[in-house]
Amino acid sequence: MKERTYEERFASYYMRDMEHCQDHDGIQYFYQLQEELMDHIMSNQLHEAQKIMARLQEVLHRRAPEAIETALPRFYLTQVALFANEIRKFGISPVKIFCFSSASIELIYSWHTEEEMVEGGHWLVESFIDMISERVNPFFSHPVVCQAAEYINHHLEEPIEVEAVAKEIRISPSYLAKLFKQQAGMTVKQFSNQRKVVEAKYYLQFSTKEIAEIADQFSFCNQSYFTKVFKDQMGLTPKQFRLSLQREVKEPYQESF
């Protein structure tokens, strides 16, 4: 028997789903909820986003109670793709978006029970909002400052000086320095250090790298300078920050919707 082509198999799935969805009024409602979910995530509104996630999970459960362990992961995969597309607008490095998406997808595939999948959906919302609140630049009103911030975001593991940024976007260093301070409220160096510390925090929390290695990875001239910059921003040294996380008692996610 001849094996069906991709097109034939796709067509059979498509026609099957079209038949099932003909009388289903909830489809438009579901897509409306998806839009609301992404809007709340991009606006850093955790509580509202979690409520919408719970409603989306409920809709899927009603529509496919016997296939929920397939429906939920598929839904989450689409949210990862939508989120990745959204955060491109903020100038986040394509490498970081790719790795974030890849890790999220691998985690989704590791969930095997409905309980894991439901809890995992709420974790995804928190993870997306963490990415927005900690790693995404604010929208600067001036296009030159936006260009500079995007360049900095893409080169966090390199030494960043105003001269190099100015050369990349083809303006004078003195003009960039003045404009950036006016628009961002901080110097180019302060902004780049702030972004480096945000990324370094993640490595301090989730990697076993030595502090000196992390300092070197983000091109601080030495560990002492990294420690000073980190403490100025976080109120703790890198070592104190890592120890505080090790002592912290992490409770499972609990919230009522």
141 Cβ neighbours under 8 A, 6+ residues apart: 183
Asked if 60 contacts 72 with a C-beta cutoff of 8 angstroms, the reply is yes
Give the span between the Cα atoms of 160 and 235, in whole angstroms: 23
Give the span between the Cα atoms of 215 and 218, in whole angstroms: 5
Opening angle at CA 93, ends 87 and 96, nearest 5: 85
35 Cβ neighbours under 8 A, 6+ residues apart: none
Statement: residue 158 has pLDDT above 90: yes
Note if the pTM is more than 0.75.
no
* Tokens at 52, concatenated: 């919408």
**Dihedral angle of Cα 191, 193, 196, 197, to the nearest 10 degrees:** -110
The string of pLDDT tens digits covering residues 225-256 is 999 999 999 999 999 999 998 776 454 444 44
The string of pLDDT tens digits covering residues 40-86 is 999 889 999 999 999 999 999 988 888 999 999 999 999 999 999 99
DSSP for residue 44: T
Q: How far is CA 68 from the centre of its chain?
A: 25
Q: How far is CA 6 from the centre of its chain?
A: 33
Q: Which of 14-23, 43-52, 170-179 has the lowest mean pLDDT?
A: 14-23
* Tokens at 126, concatenated: 């928190």
